Amino acid sequence: MKIRILGPGCPRCNEVEKRTIDALAELDIPADVQKITDLKKIMEYNIIATPGLVINGKMKCSGRIPSKSQIKNWINEELS
């Protein structure tokens, strides 16, 4: 599973990263989690606002901080 957190490194982006890592730990699922802070690379995802969360190449969320339960649901969706 590949997870990308998109954002410049602001507190909101850091919170998305923390919640995502916590969700993966609670689900006991390994994943390649990368934080992308380079603006040019972020723009490749056609994101309108940060923070953004991409799981297996699919934009799951942008411009807000999703709850940990939402993140868990998205992770489980990608596993099925």
Question: Which among 5, 13, 24, 53 is annotated as catalytic?
Answer: 13
For residue 73, which of 13, 11, 61, 62 has the smallest C-alpha distance? 61
In this structure, the number of other CB atoms found within 10 A of the CB of residue 40 comes to: 7
Judged by DSSP in three states, 30 sits in: coil
Question: Which among 10, 39, 43, 49 is annotated as catalytic?
Answer: 10
13 is catalytic: yes
61 is catalytic: no
For residue 74, which of 46, 55, 50, 49 has the smallest C-alpha distance? 55
Show which residues are catalytic: 10, 13
